[in-house]
Amino acid sequence: MDLLFLDSAMPADIQLAASSGLVSGVTTNPSILRQAAPTTTPIVHLLSLFELFPDGPIFYQIHARDAASARTQVDELVTQLGDDAPRVIFKLPAQFEWFSFGARLVRQGHHVAFTAVYHPGQMIAAMQAGARYVIPYVDRARRLRPDSRDVVAQLSAVSRPGSPGILAASIKSAEQALEAFANGAEAITTTWEVIEALTTDELTDSAVNQFRTEVPL
């Protein structure tokens, strides 16, 4: 099952994720790519991530002002990826004009996710476009709309069989991750630190230490 994604473009993080066996794929955005490789073009750095993470999807966010330049980015990346092209999932902003562009990409056989999703109507548009995922920003929504119902729960309420999976992003703690799953997220994307925190409990450590005390290794 694809449950845990790493939200990073740092090579060291990608290597940890690839070797762990716990991470299904990698999500990136323009800011993450720039932070990881400020002197390299985003596509060149992304290509290196495909080498470091040899299995599973990697998300690339189209960063363009119009459909024509976005189309150029898609074609360039697909050409350079070659056999790895089916692994890329194109992230598009959840805005009116990009839903149509995403629907065209889906009809052409590409995988699409809509990002910065905050409203159930955007979930419905993503369903119609044939997206693989919608990506809500959980912590950001909580901070900016503290009186609103949880964004993942809102999207889950309008989902239907075959709907895009809810890939919860902006997850800042293990508690937020678990809450997102409880509210209907199919998967989460977060930092390596949060993924590690999900696997840790003090009672587990205590039990293991007791076994080692009673039965020395």
Which of these, 30, 40, 95, lies nearest to 48 by C-alpha position?
40
Q: State mean pLDDT over 46-74.
A: 95
Which of these, 134, 206, 210, 190, lies nearest to 166 by C-alpha position?
134
What is the number of domains present in the chain?
1
How does pLDDT run across 76-99, given as a tens digit for each residue?
999 999 999 999 999 999 999 999
Q: Is the pLDDT of residue 217 over 90?
A: no
Task: Quote the mean pLDDT of the chain.
Answer: 95
User: What is the pTM for the complete model shown?
Assistant: 0.95
Q: Is the pLDDT of residue 46 over 90?
A: yes
Q: Is the pLDDT of residue 17 over 90?
A: yes
Bridge partner residues of 61 (DSSP): 91
Q: Which helix (H) or strand (E) holds 130?
A: none
CA distances (Å), origin 7, targets 23, 149, 175 = 10, 25, 17
Q: Which helix (H) or strand (E) holds 190?
A: strand 187-190
- Sequence-ordered alpha helix ranges (H) in the chain: 11-20, 30-36, 42-52, 67-81, 96-107, 120-129, 138-144, 151-158, 174-182, 192-198, 202-214
Q: Which helix (H) or strand (E) holds 133?
A: strand 133-135
Of 11-20, 119-128, 206-215, the range with the lowest mean pLDDT is 206-215
Distance of CA 89 to the CA centre of its chain: 9
Question: Per-residue confidence at 49, pLDDT binned at 50, 70, 90?
Answer: very high
Q: Is the pLDDT of residue 215 over 90?
A: no
Contact 27, 6 (CB under 8 A): yes
Give residue for tokens 């840790």: 200
Q: Is the pLDDT of residue 55 over 90?
A: yes
CATH of residue 141 = 3.20.20.70
Residue 147: predicted pLDDT: 85
Residue 178 is part of which domain span?
4-214
CA distance 109 to 188: 24
CB atoms within 10 A of CB 92: 23
